[in-house]
Structure 1
Amino acid sequence: MLSALLFSLILFGQKEGWKTYEKDGYSVQYPKNWEYSDQKPQPMVQFVLMSEEDSQEEDNFRENINLSTEFLQGREISLDAYVEIALDQVEKQIPSAKILSTEDILLNGMKAKSSIWIADFGSGVMLKFKQYILISDGTAYILTFTSTEAEFDEYVNQATDILDTFKINS
């Protein structure tokens, strides 16, 4: 019995005690103490994963991960060009934004970009973001982890573990 469970965990890559969300040809895994929501704060947002409720006790902010998608309508655009445009838009739309890093990564066999940036949205609380961006079959996928700057280091490893489970299912 135990060997069958281990085999299925290895075969399907399921993290123990984690839930899997699958929809529209993609999947992501997240800890059972995080909460899934399909409430869309913006039309491009497909889902939001929220950290445990008590994460907001000190700063009234609940760390979260969301997925936005953009159908590229047949436009041929490289990942590098798409990320450059996306980060330029961030800097233009949010004057306080500062891009801290951008790097190439491999996400479950797919080329992607990881970036970290920070911005003050006028609330006096600095927010820090870690994003993964990839393009597959004419759709851009933008996974964004959002945290207060003060708690970013506390949550970024767990958020990265979640981001790293994102898969485009063929």
Structure 2
Amino acid sequence: MLALNLSMAGLSVFFSIRIGHALFTPDLQTSSRIARPVVVTAPRNHDVAPNSRPRGVYDVIATRTLFHPNRSEPTRSEAITPIQPPPPTLALHGVVVSGDTRLAYLQDLVTKQIFGYKTGDKLAGGLVERIELDRVVIMRGDGPFEVMLHRPKEPLPVAPSPQEDSPRRSRGRQE
């Protein structure tokens, strides 16, 4: 048993020295040059014809359950009419106009997040067509969709200035 303990202690010291040597000595194999990335282009296979199918053909894989026993191929009417998402619930919080740049801040009422959009950005299943001072027009597949600037029906009350010391205000309402 003593021989086993001594051999284990010897191996422990030996491996500790090897680990310390590996950690603290410089590596002679690393070069001081900076390695530059090599650009490799794949050879173009001229025998393969490019895929002529549009990507919409493959959407059936994502929309239908492949392993359902009642699964069948879609009919022609299903394949032709694209399904539009419902109109989004958006609120226009404000528009920033600076020179030629127009930026609209819209809030998604479902997620309660506010983002800024420019003309041409993708939004709600369409593209932001134009940004006006009081509305944003989004062009979707089913036609334009407008989001109006929300304005409260009543103006905000104006706080009285501290300079006004009328007797009516100090004593309350008199009739």
TM-score, normalized by the shorter chain, greater than 0.5: no
Q: TM-score, normalised by structure 1?
A: 0.22
Q: Which one has a larger percent strand, Structure 1 or Structure 2?
A: 1
Q: TM-score, normalised by structure 2?
A: 0.21
**Which of 1 and 2 has higher RCO (CA within 8 Å, sep 6+)?**
1
